[in-house]
Chain A
């Protein structure tokens, strides 16, 4: 639905709405509504005269399907059909504040907020209906938005009639959320709300807004990280008919009503740059990371490491490396900004519209209420659109464009240059086995990222987890310190790095102990959720116990993220002549607590397995002296159809646990499960991601 139609349908443009619960009277349905979220449920829900429910959330839809799952939560609590719920997302003028879409938080953190608002709204509607129908509220029932007296279906009134476009204040007490057993919608797969728009080309992304008079901006960029613009001679560009050049400090842009003309004119700019880029490349970076990483922060230290080492009969020590990885969403970063009537409006695909609103306001020196961010559909983000530098660029230029809207769309080279990459990292693990084949100690030090998810709770008598470097967990960090360019959150930040290291190391220990890698894990586990997920994966996979390397090419790994437990098993073959890995089958089992929309959860699992093949096998950013050598998809290779394994997903039922994370967890095992299966196939151990054919051939020769 178009935004304009949405507003009309839900009445948000005119008259309206409904109830107010005073803060003290508000039922503490959600004991701690996270800081920043409005307590008043009116912020989240509107009911139109036709009884349609308008749902307003600050989260954004970037493909992960929360548009549908969040609407399901509202529909469930209000007892209306899903197709009568309209959802508007990521508009800072119309939606309540939100901290951002990422970290698999939509269901886990925001879900209870929306459920609470829905339950409160339903209770208020029942109170209104009780007065209207002159019966106690406990004699009422709701079906599809119609309230009726139990046993007397003719005595009825619907939500639209109750609200009648009025704002009604209600003081509510004793509201309870629906128990899981009463759910009729949540827990069953639902049709995606964005399906029709996305298969017809009607879905509008940032660059599709088509605002009349838009100028397309092409920004002058440095050739390397560490270089800054010294001077830009734009005379030749300015001679191109229709071209305007705008400058704001070091931001220099060539603009034209047609984007390709702007690009052509920008190529005529003669720019010079200052600065000395860091003399680092994708090989020397690992030494740099460990050398720079002095003073590790100890996250966890338990037990006596020295005593553990003293009774070690087999010491296993290894370093695990992973390269910088790009987000490489197919939709580039884009923003359209318009300065009108003293306000800046920016349409832009960002994961945290409210954070970007503050960034834009700060960059322009405006009060926050003079900035509005509107988030259209996002064509993939994966953490790469957590911040809004592109929105700030468009807004700065629009400020100088005399009222003309300004659109900035990064080209693919800019995407690969300005991305906030997943940080390269080195994970060093020392550990050992006693003669009985039990782990004696575990000493892990992470350089380049945080130690998040380095520990899954294996029974370790002594353990230490330490890390240096920027987590890249929240937002982004700029280059110049530990990393030569900006790094940031990449789908399950730090977890892909740490699960790869830990689960490879578990396999090395299992191999030393000559024990089946699954049995070795179970021997060191007491967490029943992890055990159950591993056993579920094994059952579906048809895991046959045997010490690795068995020559079969099978592997196992488990991990966790945002409360969700995952286990992966894979089968693959390796062409010994070429080093090419062919992943044939992946089974992924997952306990994510209550599954709101099972089909949506499976989509995330299938997508994560497919995407994860990339960082496991091919994706590693090449760079030298500040220059990014990968500039497009010809050399930066992401998964394609020919790579596709059979993917089987298993949702481990645990509905009494509230919904946990869904978007990120299923990707965390992919590096390790493939590395372990490669070891099982050939007896070689790859310590570095990606596991390219060249590295596999080198390991075979060694």
Chain B
């Protein structure tokens, strides 16, 4: 039963022992110690646990470890490079696009995935992309503004 799953995590190769049917969020948080990924609903309904798998957003609460074998996983801990915030992080930081901060890692990763593909995403596209992310504090207004600002930085002026 000594199975293991290999994948790339925040740019580094890792090998995780254990049942590959376990959900990625539990592996990240309790086996690998990366607690920036949050658990909110456990049923792919709130977006708090969002990570990127090969640049696509995935609900880690509902993604079995086996699904990321050989793939590249990015969590919030891997977004800033050498202490320099990613443009999306910087925009969230500067515009206070959060309150309690619990949905923030998932929100930032969801927005980053969109902007990486489409830095000139429209306001409507940003809102559609983030529709599956819940924020109970009601920071939506600032989140949209922050993602727009980050898009300008990542892809030039609209």
List A residues at the B interface (Cβ < 8 Å).
62-65, 192, 194-205, 207-208, 210, 216, 258-260, 328-332, 377-380, 382, 409, 411-412, 599, 603, 606-611, 632-634, 638-642, 644, 647
Contact = CB atoms under 8 A, between A and B. Distances in A.
Contacts of B89: 199-200
Contacts of B22: 258, 260
A64 B99 contact: yes
8 contacts: A195-B93, A258-B26, A258-B31, A329-B102, A330-B103, A377-B100, A607-B139, A639-B140
Contact of B30 (A198, A205, A259, A599): A259
A608 B140 CA distance: 11
B59 interface: no
A383 to B, nearest CB: 12
Contacts of A199: 85, 89-90, 92-93, 98, 101, 104, 108
B127 interface: yes
B5 to A, nearest CB: 15
Contact of B138 (A194, A207, A609): A609
B23 to A, nearest CB: 6
Given A329-B100, A641-B131, A610 B30 contact: no
Given A196-B93, A607-B139, A203 B101 contact: yes
Interface residues of B, number: 56
- Which of B40, B85, B130, B142 has the largest count of A CB atoms less than 10 A from its CB? B40
Nearest to B47: A330
B120 interface: no
Contacts of A260: 22-23, 26
A330 B135 CA distance: 7
B37 to A, nearest CB: 7
B99 A412 contact: no
Contacts of B104: 198-199
B134 A412 contact: no
B30 A258 contact: yes
B137 interface: yes
Given A63-B101, A200-B77, A207-B35, A331 B40 contact: yes
A411 B61 CA distance: 12
- Which of B41, B98, B144 has the largest count of A CB atoms less than 10 A from its CB? B41
Nearest to A379: B102
B45 interface: yes
Nearest to A61: B100
Q: Which 5 A-B pairs have the closest CB atoms?
A: A201-B36, A379-B102, A63-B100, A610-B138, A198-B101
By secondary structure, the B interface counts as: loop
A409 B133 CA distance: 21
A207 B37 contact: no
Contacts of B121: none
Nearest to B36: A201
A606 B45 contact: no
Nearest to A641: B127
A23 B30 CA distance: 50
A642 B129 CA distance: 10
Contacts of B100: 62-63, 329-331, 377-380
A683 B98 CA distance: 38
A202 B54 CA distance: 23
A275 B157 CA distance: 65
- Which of A192, A199, A599, A607 has the largest count of B CB atoms less than 10 A from its CB? A199
Interface in B73-93: 75-77, 79-80, 85, 89-90, 92-93
Given A199-B104, A330-B102, A644 B77 contact: no
Contacts of B103: 330, 379
Given A195-B93, A330-B102, A611 B138 contact: yes
A599 B142 CA distance: 12
Interface of B: 22-23, 26, 29-31, 33-43, 45-46, 48, 75-77, 79-80, 85, 89-90, 92-93, 96, 98-105, 108, 127-128, 130-131, 133-144
Contacts of A608: 138
- Which of A378, A379, A641 has the largest count of B CB atoms less than 10 A from its CB? A641
A412 B42 contact: yes
A210 B36 CA distance: 12
- Which of B39, B90, B92 has the largest count of A CB atoms less than 10 A from its CB? B39
Nearest to B108: A199
Contacts of A380: 99-100, 102, 136-137
Nearest to B35: A208
B141 A611 contact: no
B140 A610 contact: yes
B139 to A, nearest CB: 6
A632 to B, nearest CB: 5
Nearest to A194: B101
- Which of B80, B104, B139 has the largest count of A CB atoms less than 10 A from its CB? B104
A57 B150 CA distance: 35
Contacts of A638: 134, 136
B77 A201 contact: yes
- Which of B26, B31, B40, B140 has the largest count of A CB atoms less than 10 A from its CB? B140
A369 to B, nearest CB: 31
A198 B134 contact: no
Contacts of B40: 330-332, 412
Contacts of B135: 330
Given A198-B104, A641-B127, A207 B39 contact: yes
A632 B142 CA distance: 26
A647 B103 CA distance: 21
B43 A377 contact: no
Contact of A611 (B48, B101, B127, B137): B137
Given A378-B100, A611-B137, A640 B131 contact: yes
A330 B140 contact: no
Contacts of A641: 127-128, 130-131, 133, 140, 143-144
B36 A202 contact: yes
